[in-house]
Structure 1
Amino acid sequence: MEPLESGEPRVLATEEALAFIAEIRKDHPDVLFHQSGGCCDGSSPMCYPANEYLIGAGDVKLGEIGGVPVYISASQFETWKHTQLIIDVVPGRGGMFSLDNGRERRFLTRSRLFAGGEVCAIPSRQ
């Protein structure tokens, strides 16, 4: 994970999300997340086979959850840089191209603002 100087990770997952990731990885062992910026699938965290998604030069790696890397576009990171993302699971259909689609559960991003004493580290670009 990419921790803040205070030790807080930029991204984490609920126990339900970690269990769902493990379930998906039984079918697709090597996956990654990219925080969607909108359009067709809203702002959902999208789960892709790692070999089918090209990480762009402008993407920022926020950290890892359940051994899976999580990325966000640089422009979206600028908006959310003071926010910790928490990947959760809720009932419903996943994003059209996301591996949670068709499983009657979907990933959802929750968030919290970092407190004043939490100094943000710059995550790596990948």
Structure 2
Amino acid sequence: MEKLNRVDVTAAALEVIKMLESKFGDLMFYQAGGCCEGTQPQCFEKGGFYLRTGDVCIGTVNGHEFWLDKDLFEYWKYSHFTLDVVDGHGPGGFSLETPYGKTFKVIYRLFTEEELENLEPLKRFDY
């Protein structure tokens, strides 16, 4: 049986990602649970954000890694993420899509028990 991914992307978000790829090249996504940006997913040029030991890569979006803060992952580890985009500016402005009047967001749903038994493996950041 094919392993299930933990993150997907909507067509609208994929369109913005492709535009960002054409301007910036390789990308990375990071979602924290802290202050400034709240829990809004952030898009950076690959390597433009420094990961912490224990941060978790839950999968890729169009070939770009999607990382979660290690503490946020513990809270959301039973959830599937769908990366979406909306018009407007989020709570901050560090993410690459912000100057284009867009904001990435995540739609969550809980995995079923069957899905939890068949998920793709995780990758943790370790110096």
CA contact (8 A) 1:36 1:72 kept: yes
Are 2:99 and 1:102 aligned?
yes
CA-atom RMSD in angstroms = 1.7
Count, aligned residues: 122
- Aligned-pair CA distance for 1:6: 6.6
Note the residue ranges of structure 2 that are not aligned, 5 or more in a row. Answer: none
Give TM-score, length-normalised by structure 1: 0.88
Partner Cα distance (2:80, 2:47) in 1: 27
Specify the alignment match of 1:28 in structure 2.
24
Residues 8-87 of structure 1 aligned to structure 2 (within 5 Å): 8-87=4-83
Give the Å deviation of 1:119: 2.0
CA contact (8 A) 1:93 1:103 kept: no
When residues 36 and 73 of structure 1 are mapped into structure 2, their CA distance, relative to the original with a 3 A threshold, is: closer
Output the TM-score relative to the length of structure 2.
0.87
Equivalents in 1 of 2:83, 2:93: separation in Å?
18
> Residue in 2 aligned with 1:123?
122
Query: Is residue 93–residue 100 contact of structure 1 (8 Å, CA) maintained in 2?
Result: no
Tell me, in whole angstroms, the C-alpha distance in 1 between the residues paired with 2:96 and 2:73. Answer: 23
Any conservation in 1 of the 2:28–2:65 contact (CA below 8 Å)?
yes
Checking the alignment, whether the CA contact within 8 Å between 2:80 and 2:108 is kept in structure 1 is yes
Runs of 4+ in 1 over 4 A off after TM superposition: none
Identity of aligned residues (%): 33
Q: 1:113 maps to which residue? A: 110
Contiguous gaps of at least 5 residues in structure 1: none
